[in-house]
Amino acid sequence: MLIHYFKIAWRNLLKYKAQSVISIVGLSISFTAFTFTLSWIRYEQGYDKHIPDAERIFRVFVKDSTKVDGIRQYAPNALAAYLKEKYPEIEAATGLYAYKTNIRQGDKIVLNQSACINIDTSFFAVFYPEIKISYPERIDKDYYIFTGSAANKLQLGAHDIGKWNDSLKLNLLDIVPDKPTHSNLPFDLIFINKHDDKFDMAWGYHSKFTYIRVKQGVDIEKFKDKLADISVKKDHPGGYYSVEKYQCKLVPLQELRTTHPDTEVAIRYHQLRLFATVSLLVLCCAFFNYLMLFINKIGIRNRGLTLHKVNGASGMRLLALLMCEFVMLVSLALLVGMVLTEIIYPYFATFSMIESSRTFFLRDALLFGISLLLLTLLFAFLPVRYFMNKSIQENLMPMKVSRRGFNDRFTRMSIFLQLFITVLLLFATTVFAYQFNYLNSNHIGFNRTHINTLITYPNEIPIDALRKIPGVEDVIPHGGDFLPKSTTRQIHVERDDTNDYHKLFKFEIFGPEFVNFFDIEIIAGRNIHEGERNGYLINQTADHLLVAEDSTGLKMINDLPVVGVIRDMYIDSPLVPVFPSVYGILESDSWDEGSDRTYFYAYKYVKGMRNETEKEISKLVTEDIGNPPPTLLNMEELYAEYTKSERYLLNLLGIIT
């Protein structure tokens, strides 16, 4: 009987093929988008699930309002040891950093771009307490620890532990079991460097990630409040000391990937959730569109259904006939969606940068498909049953007052729901597009188009030699302070009649050509003169903070006058506000003292000649100047990287909408 029903269902799908194709396309595309997004979200949420008592492990960030998300990626080197000593709630604390490295055996690379973490002796106490490592009493030389799989590739065994390996040029401390790489801290090998108090216990160096494991039963909320503000006493030569304040933020290990990922992600987690919501809304649109068309077809086929009823067919059999047709189309849509999933997977894996097997996503797609089939069957059962019975009754008793208006209302409600969701998505996508375009517009305070940053060392490059290169329009020595942003100095300016002070960022420029080169608008005053080291330029934000000292309106910064006010410049991510900044000519004619000097230049190139200028500059730097290959960075690309996640999200929203 079911086979007969499915044959009838297939004939009806072919009879109404236009409606069938529309429904299959809508359901399959929205199903594919939702499946990939939900699988991606599940993957991001699955980080570090294998670590025992992961809920007691936290990453400690130091807050910094000048950074994206308001935190510094790296914490002071001394923070882990300080927290372990001062807070009894902490069971263990460690400082580490992760990177990729190559292991060589002679001239041959035997482990290429392997995941490595630089740790201290407390690492395993925080993450894997079950692993016991016999550390030397004092770490007086560099050591390596390999996972079992890495050791097998290098043909290392238990007999090599604790010995110097001459072919690899390293000390092997131990071999540990492999751990899942679906982690914030995956590793193939571990490096423990020789202990250095001046570096490892320094507050001035920010080069480590700080993790803690709290004791069982600790009230996390109260502990977070304790770490919200900590004061650290620092001793200085001559018996002096200073007190530094740090605001710390605790992030659970299992939430780290979704809130503050250390590695590059194509789309941030909260934006993934937004896209999943959009995909679900589109899926709902496709479902209600199909349900509306299907119920309208019941009205069209009411005479045939009535004849079946008159000839002895029960209501349940007629309902089974209709549900077979309904399920067949949904199943076809899911099948097409599965095929699309298989076809798109390689591109999706490259785009999402997810290191997971194909079966992970196919298993999720199959699970979501079955769940969706059951849900659609559940939601469609009552409406289909109701309209089938009503349609048959209207044909059997034509003189009875019809309730056709209810059917019309259902159609109108379905259309309204689809239109509402469509208009909502179009409006949201349009607003998001305007916001994105504004963030990436030219209104950032300076010109970044067709400009490259050149970084080289140790020899200086003559400006005239760079200007002679075909395609180079202009060149200036550049402080390297933005695009890419590097370490900037801060100066303190006392507030009038108070003991407090303003904190301003100081950027060193080489002359008035800085303003002209980047097309920076001067709002008030004038440009700085050549060699004028007794005056400053400030941005608009700093201008609002500083108050003139007398009736002349002249503003001073540490006894030096402000000669001009320039427009605020977004030198970092547009998601970070502009901070009060000061621009002054470099105090020394040389950029650095010592043998290892790094030089920065900014040059404009003719549109369409970027590659040619980069090749010629690289040739000049390596062959004529004798420096190593230079670093060439494009300011437009660097700025676009700040909003890469938003750009990808906008593209996906445009496609799905």
Given a cut of 90, whether residue 561 has pLDDT beyond it is no
For the chain, percent of residues with pLDDT exceeding 70: 88
Q: What SS3 class is residue 420?
A: helix
Given a cut of 70, whether residue 268 has pLDDT beyond it is yes
Best CA proximity match to 481, nearest among 539, 562, 546: 539
Q: Give domain status of residue 172, yes or no.
A: yes
Residues sharing a CB contact under 8 Å with residue 189, sequence separation 6 or more, in sequence order: 101, 103, 111, 114, 115, 116, 144, 145, 146, 147, 150
Given a cut of 90, whether residue 574 has pLDDT beyond it is no
Q: Give domain status of residue 444, yes or no.
A: no
User: pLDDT, tens digit, for every residue of 346-402?
Assistant: 888 888 888 877 888 888 888 888 888 888 888 777 777 776 666 666 655 555 545
Q: Give domain status of residue 259, yes or no.
A: no
| Residue bearing the bigger pLDDT, 381 or 610 | 610
pLDDT of residue 313: 58
Given a cut of 60, whether residue 535 has pLDDT beyond it is yes
pLDDT of residue 591: 44
Let me know whether 198 and 287 are in one domain.
no
pLDDT of residue 98: 92
Distance CA 253, CA 149 (A): 25
How sure is the predictor about 23, in pLDDT bands with cuts at 50, 70 and 90?
confident
Best CA proximity match to 566, nearest among 593, 526, 604, 615: 526
pLDDT of residue 588: 58
Token readout for 213 is 């494991």
Distance CA 300, CA 461 (A): 82
Distance CA 145, CA 105 (A): 16
- The mean pLDDT of 228-243, rounded to a whole number, is 78
pLDDT of residue 559: 79
pLDDT of residue 301: 63
Tell me, what amino acid is at 500? Answer: D
Distance CA 112, CA 45 (A): 28
Distance CA 357, CA 351 (A): 15
Given a cut of 50, whether residue 557 has pLDDT beyond it is yes
> 419: domain range?
2-45+267-437
The number of beta carbons lying within 10 Å of the beta carbon of residue 396 is: 11
pLDDT of residue 501: 73
Encode burial over 538-575: b for 16+ CB neighbours within 10 A, e otherwise. bbbbbbeebeeeeeeeebebeeeebbbbbebbbbbebe
pLDDT of residue 590: 43
User: pLDDT, tens digit, for every residue of 149-196?
Assistant: 999 998 888 888 988 988 888 899 999 999 998 999 999 999 998 888
Given a cut of 60, whether residue 549 has pLDDT beyond it is no
| Range name among 50-54, 210-214, 288-292 with the lowest pLDDT average | 288-292
Strand partners, 203: none
User: pLDDT, tens digit, for every residue of 290-335?
Assistant: 888 777 776 666 666 565 555 555 556 666 767 777 788 888 888 9
Let me know whether 325 and 383 are in one domain.
yes
Helices H, strands E: what count in the chain?
A: 19, 24
Residue where a domain terminates, one of 186, 218, 250: 218
Counted domains in the chain: 3
Let me know whether 517 and 593 are in one domain.
yes
pLDDT of residue 10: 75
Let me know whether 32 and 124 are in one domain.
no
Q: Give domain status of residue 508, yes or no.
A: yes
Q: Give domain status of residue 57, yes or no.
A: no
Let me know whether 351 and 479 are in one domain.
no
Residue where a domain terminates, one of 409, 437, 465: 437
pLDDT of residue 308: 56
**Mean pLDDT, the chain, integer:** 84
Distance CA 40, CA 43 (A): 5
Let me know whether 18 and 139 are in one domain.
no
pLDDT of residue 186: 92
**Structural contact between residues 541 and 568, judged by C-beta atoms closer than 8 angstroms:** yes
- The mean pLDDT of 141-152, rounded to a whole number, is 92
pTM of the complete model: 0.81
Given a cut of 70, whether residue 613 has pLDDT beyond it is yes
Distance CA 137, CA 140 (A): 9
Let me know whether 30 and 122 are in one domain.
no
Let me know whether 368 and 463 are in one domain.
no
Q: Give domain status of residue 582, yes or no.
A: yes
Let me know whether 345 and 413 are in one domain.
yes
Let me know whether 396 and 527 are in one domain.
no
pLDDT of residue 215: 93
Let me know whether 275 and 150 are in one domain.
no
Q: Give domain status of residue 21, yes or no.
A: yes
- The mean pLDDT of 33-54, rounded to a whole number, is 90
Let me know whether 544 and 627 are in one domain.
yes
How sure is the predictor about 436, in pLDDT bands with cuts at 50, 70 and 90?
confident
Q: What SS3 class is residue 535?
A: coil
User: pLDDT, tens digit, for every residue of 503-529?
Assistant: 788 888 888 888 899 898 999 889 988
| Residue bearing the bigger pLDDT, 491 or 181 | 181
Q: Give domain status of residue 237, yes or no.
A: no
| End-to-end CA gap in the chain | 41
Three-class SS of 305-368:
HHHHHHCCCCHHHHHHHHHHHHHHHHHHHHHHHHHHHHHHHHHHHHHHCCCCCHHHHHHHHHHH
Best CA proximity match to 16, nearest among 290, 288, 284: 290
Between strands 143-147 and 170-176, the pairing is: parallel
